[in-house]
Structure 1
């Protein structure tokens, strides 16, 4: 999963190279570029968590009972009641951490580019 996040960030920063060059030309520091890129990816991770967790719960409630009924199997409660608030909170924070850590290396690489390198590659 972190590899997918990293690839997404690399593509995102390559698409935004011209914008980053413009921001750096008006005084944005490499640290600010890194923070901006990581925070934008963290927002994407938060949105993914907010959408993915409820959709996962819904899918579990729809699919697992149907699968059990298809084979005439009665599932015990410990196999169906698996969603506790603490686990869901941990999942949300894990998604945020994965996106933030996956964005760190590509964003630092983009922050190290000089303005001339960014504009020359266009």
Structure 2
């Protein structure tokens, strides 16, 4: 494989993991927000208005998911560069 192909392969595999993480994490975080915030409000003896609970719209949720994918790919750039510069046999042995 050429260095560019190795870089693309590593980034593509990380992108898939980032998309799966976004598909699981964004809905889980959204649901957790709707569970934790009312509990916190009740703990201090205050009812929270829906304005406090409904802070994320569909566009913001999409951006959060895309942000997770971008962060995953940025985090993989340095290891992908190392793998691209290494000889293929050496990289496979260390795998």
Tell me, yes or no, whether TM beats 0.5.
yes
* Unaligned segments of structure 2, at least 5 residues: none
User: How has the CA–CA distance of structure 1 residues 63 and 45 changed in structure 2, closer, same or farther, with 3 Å as cutoff?
Assistant: same
Report if the CA contact (8 A) 2:6-2:80 is conserved: yes
* Unaligned segments of structure 1, at least 5 residues: 1-27
The two structures have a TM-score, normalised by structure 1, of 0.70
- Cα distance in structure 2, aligned partners of 1:112 and 1:47: 28
Matches within 5 A, 1:54-65: 54-65=27-38
User: How has the CA–CA distance of structure 1 residues 80 and 34 changed in structure 2, closer, same or farther, with 3 Å as cutoff?
Assistant: same
The two structures have a TM-score, normalised by structure 2, of 0.87
- Cα distance in structure 1, aligned partners of 2:92 and 2:23: 37
User: How has the CA–CA distance of structure 1 residues 62 and 107 changed in structure 2, closer, same or farther, with 3 Å as cutoff?
Assistant: same
The reply to whether residue 98 of structure 1 matches residue 63 of structure 2 is: no
The reply to whether residue 109 of structure 1 matches residue 82 of structure 2 is: yes
2:20 to 24, 47, 50: 47
The reply to whether residue 70 of structure 1 matches residue 43 of structure 2 is: yes
Matched pairs, number: 95
CA RMSD in angstroms comes to 1.9
